[in-house]
């Protein structure tokens, strides 16, 4: 049967296992049963009547992509916590074949949707119509490190301003005076907050905006973005750079080396996220670590509270990062480059 085959393939089980879940004949492990029910929902198939009252609520996990290592890390933490509460996580991410957030939101609204956690994005990214439907139906929503303000929604976020100031203060203590900043796209709220931290740091140093404006660059969140952003900062004379993601920092390091610079002897670099394997890069990357487990727990608790009927109005939970010092930072060169 084509339907059984499609569901079995998505759930990673045999067709006979799908049949046992649908008919109730035979023992099936709870995790396997949940996987089959999730696959049925994702495929758009209606559950048999005997299962409809028992099906667990689905929770959408909407992430921009799975290329940035921090998103799979958050997804894993969130999924584990949701499972412990008897909720079924459904991963929704942009794909190369054009499947968008709007498509995923529309799909989730057609199912037994209990709520949605947006990671690194926001429900506004799905478009005006899906966003209106979410509001009209009072679907519980939590935004984790949202890309924009979204006042009125429960939000879990990093204190980006304090994180940037912490990194800058550390580099200044090493002796760096010209420090560059590579941010995400213009208007990206976490980057805006990091810029506020940079501005506050420069103000304490007695620098006017005209003195530090050329030390800031914007880029897409990728190694390529960091690689393209660095040359202008080097022309401005920076001896260190703080980046809004680990990928940006790795791209900047690659460009520095292509220009004959040593890291950290000629240029220090700091990333953000402490993604998997940053301890194994060359050199190991100094970076700001997000408390992923704690943030995921706060997001799931906020979502569960809404699902239980507790109102959430403009709730903001802010977490601090921890600067993990490794080998990509050092005192500035004794003689200026040139």
Number of domains in the chain: 2
Q: Which of 320, 223, 205, 214 is nearest to 271 (CA)?
A: 223
Question: What's the number of CA atoms in the CB half-sphere (13 Å) around residue 77?
Answer: 21
Q: Read off the pLDDT of each residue in 139-167 and give the average, rounded to a whole number.
A: 90
Q: Read off the pLDDT of each residue in 161-174 and give the average, rounded to a whole number.
A: 98
According to the model, what pLDDT value does residue 95 have?
62
Judge contact between 216 and 180, C-beta under 8 A. yes
CATH number at residue 50: 1.10.260.40
Percent above pLDDT 90 for the chain:
57
Name the range with the highest mean pLDDT among 4-13, 51-60, 88-97, 315-324. Answer: 315-324
User: Is the per-residue pLDDT at 239 higher than 80?
Assistant: yes
315-331: per-residue pLDDT in tens? 889 999 999 999 999 99
**Least reliable range by pLDDT among 192-196, 212-216, 334-338:** 334-338
In a domain, 295, yes or no: no
**Least reliable range by pLDDT among 58-72, 120-134, 282-296, 316-330:** 120-134
pLDDT band at 147 (very low <50, low <70, confident <90, very high): confident
- Cis check for the bond before 264: say yes or no (omega within 30 of 0): yes
* Domain limits for position 206: 160-289
Give how far Cα 83 sits from Cα of 80, 116, 251, 255, Å. Answer: 5, 14, 36, 43
In a domain, 37, yes or no: yes
According to the model, what pLDDT value does residue 310 have?
76
Residue 123 to residue 128: CA distance in whole angstroms: 9
In a domain, 301, yes or no: no
Our CA dihedral for 15, 19, 20, 23, rounded to 10 degrees, sits at 180
Q: Read off the pLDDT of each residue in 108-121 and give the average, rounded to a whole number.
A: 83
Residue 157 to residue 145: CA distance in whole angstroms: 5
Both structure tokens of 83: 């499972």
In a domain, 141, yes or no: no
User: Is the per-residue pLDDT at 197 higher than 80?
Assistant: yes
């Amino acid at each position: 049967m084509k339907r059984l085959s499609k569901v079995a393939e998505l759930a990673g089980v045999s067709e006979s296992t799908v049949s046992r879940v649908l008919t109730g004949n035979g023992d099936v492990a709870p995790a396997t049963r949940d996987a089959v029910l999730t696959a049925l929902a994702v495929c758009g198939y209606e559950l048999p009547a005997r299962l409809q009252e028992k099906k667990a609520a689905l929770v959408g996990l909407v992430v921009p992509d799975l290329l940035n290592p921090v998103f799979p890390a958050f997804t894993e933490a969130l999924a584990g916590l949701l499972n412990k509460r008897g909720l079924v996580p459904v991963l929704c991410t942009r794909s190369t074949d054009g499947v968008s957030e709007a498509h995923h939101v529309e799909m989730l609204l057609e199912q037994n949707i209990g709520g949605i956690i947006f990671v690194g994005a926001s429900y506004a990214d799905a478009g005006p119509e899906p966003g209106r439907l979410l509001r009209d139906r009072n679907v519980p929503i939590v935004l984790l490190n949202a890309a924009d303000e979204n006042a009125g929604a429960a939000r879990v976020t990093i204190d980006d301003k304090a994180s940037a100031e912490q990194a800058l203060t550390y580099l200044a203590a090493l002796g760096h005076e010209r420090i560059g900043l590579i941010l995400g796209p213009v208007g990206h709220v976490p980057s805006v907050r990091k810029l506020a931290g940079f501005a506050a740091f420069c103000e304490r140093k007695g620098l006017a905006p005209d003195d530090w404006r050329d030390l800031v660059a914007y880029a897409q969140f990728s190694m390529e973005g960091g690689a393209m952003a660095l040359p202008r900062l080097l022309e401005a004379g920076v001896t260190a750079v703080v980046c809004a993601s680990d990928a940006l920092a790795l791209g900047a390091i690659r460009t520095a080396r292509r220009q004959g610079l040593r890291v950290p002897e000629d240029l220090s670099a700091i990333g953000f996220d402490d993604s998997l394997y940053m301890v194994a890069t060359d050199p190991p990357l100094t970076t700001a670590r997000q408390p992923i487990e704690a943030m995921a727990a706060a997001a799931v608790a906020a979502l569960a509270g809404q699902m239980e009927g507790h109102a959430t109005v403009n709730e903001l939970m802010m977490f601090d990062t921890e600067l993990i010092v490794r080998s990509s930072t050092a005192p500035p060169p004794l003689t200026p480059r040139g």
